[in-house]
Homo-oligomer: A and B are copies of this chain.
Amino acid sequence: MGWAAVSAGEEVRLKLVEAEEPEDNDYHLQEQVGFILRKAHQRHVAIFAAHIADLTPPQFAALAKLHDVGETSQNQLGTLIAMDAATVKGVIDRLKARGLVELSKHEVDKRRLLVNLTVEGREAVERLIPLARGITEETLAPLSAKEAATFMRLLAKLA
């Protein structure tokens, strides 16, 4: 308890208050959703790296989404994979440097920079997708199938 040192009369008052407001006086960082979310994310990234060493999760997300939707503008891709413009630029730059994507200018709208998979990029995604399924599985491994389904449903509500 957090009030062990108070007088007997004070204890009574605090107990009554706690009956209405079940909150503990202490703040427990490890019980806060943000803190655990950060740790769960860290764990996932570590699992990802153990299976796919030469690509980061954001890089793979970009490739997988391009594989899914085909050529799109850099900005639109960012929207699809939840990355802001500055971040997606860096990711695409690095994928381009490795020959996995290629860039071209939109014919009509000269503001847009189109991004597409190269043949190498397509081969890479298709080779990696089975591994990615394994990463999802391993990340969820601490949960039973039923728990995992519940977790995914609730997590999706939060995100």
Contacts and interface: CB of A to CB of B under 8 A. Distances in A.
Given A34-B48, A41-B38, A129-B27, A151 B143 contact: no
A154 interface: yes
Nearest to A57: B34
Interface string A95-129: 00000000000000000000000000000000001
Give the copy number.
Answer: 2
Nearest to A139: B33
A103 to B, nearest CB: 21
Interface of A: 23, 26-29, 31-45, 48, 57, 61, 64-65, 67-68, 81-82, 129, 132-133, 135-136, 139-140, 142-143, 147, 150-152, 154-159
12 contacts: A27-B64, A27-B132, A29-B81, A33-B136, A34-B45, A34-B135, A37-B44, A37-B159, A41-B41, A42-B159, A43-B159, A143-B157
Given A23-B133, A143-B157, A147-B157, 6 more contacts: A29-B61, A29-B68, A33-B152, A37-B155, A38-B57, A147-B154
